[in-house]
């Protein structure tokens, strides 16, 4: 009765008006977000359409003409680039090379970062905080600064041990792993701090060792963070051009980024090959992202709650 007495007709009208304004504001925000999404997708849509148009039409009309003449669409560009098979310099060979670099880097960074974060959070050794500060400091070191020193280090390794990773795929993998670890350890360490130590103590009481605790308790709980790290690392390495160009520029087998670069640096750029190869390069990260999407969202939400 007391609540009903406070709802005067004037207040009721103000509440209704406020609700209408909120509903209108929400509708306006949704429209703006939809327009931004469409605007954001225009380059990707144009890239896809260009890859499906014949080479002869590239200089005659814009890609948007396909909406008035859908018969222009053809799979001829894809058939052309895939007809080379796995020969050196082809798109399939570059695709395999990119996978040979990206998959080991992603696995190694996720594994080493998880182990290092476990030691930093649950270990009992002196100097943990100082080591973590050093790792955080390494995150601000630009990748470009280390290119020349690492090349010189590789050459010194070749002179001393007869093993020079420069110009090889393992050399690129080592470089990416080294520069991916600071962020990976930082991310995993911040996530593992939210795991109660009582769970680990319960495992030790049951007689489990550190490796078993890490494998059976910590890894399942940290799976969202590991998936988020794997997605970030995979996309970063997959889209890398600079490191691959420095360390694999003269190699017979090059990743997709160098394959696309080689098509655009000549005087007559093969834009139809570039667009087709770019669509192929986009397809693999999309598969990885949507495969781990639920873990990625869980990891982001867990970090937000903390």
Same-domain check for residues 159 and 251: yes
Per-residue pLDDT tens for 31-42? 888 888 888 888
Rounded Cα distance, 46 and 52, in Å: 10
Q: Is residue 196 part of a domain?
A: yes
pLDDT in tens, 230-287: 988 999 999 999 999 888 877 778 899 888 888 776 545 677 788 888 888 888 888 8
**270 and 139 fall within a common domain:** yes
pLDDT band, residue 305 (cuts 50/70/90): very low
**How much is the mean pLDDT over the chain?**
81
Same domain, 169 and 23: no
Stronger pLDDT, 163 or 99, i.e. the higher one: 99
Percent of the chain whose pLDDT exceeds 70: 86
Residue 103 placed within a domain: yes
Structural domain includes residue 134: yes
| 130 Cβ neighbours under 8 A, 6+ residues apart | none
CA 242 to CA 79: how far, in whole Å? Answer: 29
Task: Please name the residues in contact with 7: beta carbons below 8 A apart, sequence gap of 6 or more.
Answer: none
Q: Where are the alpha helices (DSSP H) in 162-270?
A: 169-192, 197-205, 210-213, 219-221, 223-238, 242-248, 256-264
Output DSSP code: residue 252: S
User: Do 108 and 164 have their domain in common?
Assistant: yes
- In terms of domains, do 170 and 223 share one? yes
Same domain, 25 and 169: no
Looking at residue 110, its pLDDT comes to: 93
Please count the structural domains in the chain.
Answer: 2
Residue 264 lies in a domain: yes
Q: What is the pLDDT of residues 71-124, one digit of tens each?
A: 778 888 888 888 777 777 778 888 999 999 999 999 999 999 999 999 988 888
Report if pTM > 0.85. no
CATH number at residue 114: 1.10.3720.10
The yes-or-no verdict on residue 28 having pLDDT over 80 is no
Residues 26 and 104 reside in one and the same domain: no
Residue 151 structural domain = 80-305
More confident: 31 or 22:
31
Of 99-103, 125-129, 165-169, 269-273, least confident by mean pLDDT is 269-273
In-domain check, residue 74: no
- Please check whether residue 44 lies inside any domain of the structure: no
**The two structure tokens encoding residue 47:** 């890239």
> Does residue 53 lie within any of the structural domains?
no
15 and 124 part of one domain: no
Asked if residue 85 and residue 13 are part of one domain, the reply reads: no
Q: Which residues of 137-153 are buried (b: 16+ CB within 10 A; e: fewer)?
A: eeeeeeeeeeeeebbee
Residues 19 and 93 in one domain: no
Answer yes or no: is 118 within a domain. yes
pLDDT of residue 234: 93
User: Are residue 213 and residue 279 in the same domain, yes or no?
Assistant: yes
Q: Which distant-in-sequence residues (6+ apart) come within 8 Å of 168 by Cβ?
A: 247, 248, 251
Same domain, 13 and 96: no
């Amino acid at each position: 009765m007391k609540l009903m007495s406070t709802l005067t007709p004037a207040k009721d009208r103000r509440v209704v008006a406020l609700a209408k304004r909120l509903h209108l504001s929400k509708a306006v925000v949704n429209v703006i977000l939809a327009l931004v999404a469409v605007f954001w997708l225009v380059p990707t849509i144009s890239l896809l359409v260009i890859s499906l148009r014949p080479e002869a039409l590239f200089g005659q009309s814009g890609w948007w003409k396909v909406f008035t003449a859908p018969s222009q669409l053809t799979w001829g560009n894809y058939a052309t680039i895939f007809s080379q098979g796995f020969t050196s310099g082809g798109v399939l060979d570059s695709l395999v090379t990119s996978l040979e670099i990206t998959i080991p880097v992603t696995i190694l960074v996720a594994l080493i970062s998880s182990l290092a974060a476990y030691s930093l959070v649950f270990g009992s050794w002196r100097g943990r905080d100082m080591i973590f500060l050093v790792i955080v400091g390494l995150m601000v070191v630009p990748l470009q600064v280390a290119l020349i020193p690492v090349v010189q280090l590789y050459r010194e390794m070749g002179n001393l041990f007869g093993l020079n990773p420069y110009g090889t795929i393992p050399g690129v993998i080592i470089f990416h792993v080294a520069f991916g670890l600071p962020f990976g350890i930082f991310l995993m360490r911040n996530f593992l701090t939210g795991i109660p130590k009582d769970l680990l103590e319960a495992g030790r009481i049951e007689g489990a060792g550190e490796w078993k605790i890490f494998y059976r308790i910590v890894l399942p709980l940290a799976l969202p963070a590991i998936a988020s790290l794997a997605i970030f690392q995979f996309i970063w390495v997959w889209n890398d051009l600079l490191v691959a160009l420095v360390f694999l520029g003269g190699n017979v087998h090059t990743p997709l980024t160098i394959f696309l670069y080689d098509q655009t640096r000549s005087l007559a750029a093969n834009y139809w090959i570039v667009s087709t190869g770019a669509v192929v390069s986009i397809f693999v990260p999309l598969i990885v992202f949507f495969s781990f999407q639920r873990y990625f969202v869980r990891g982001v939400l867990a970090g937000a709650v903390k």
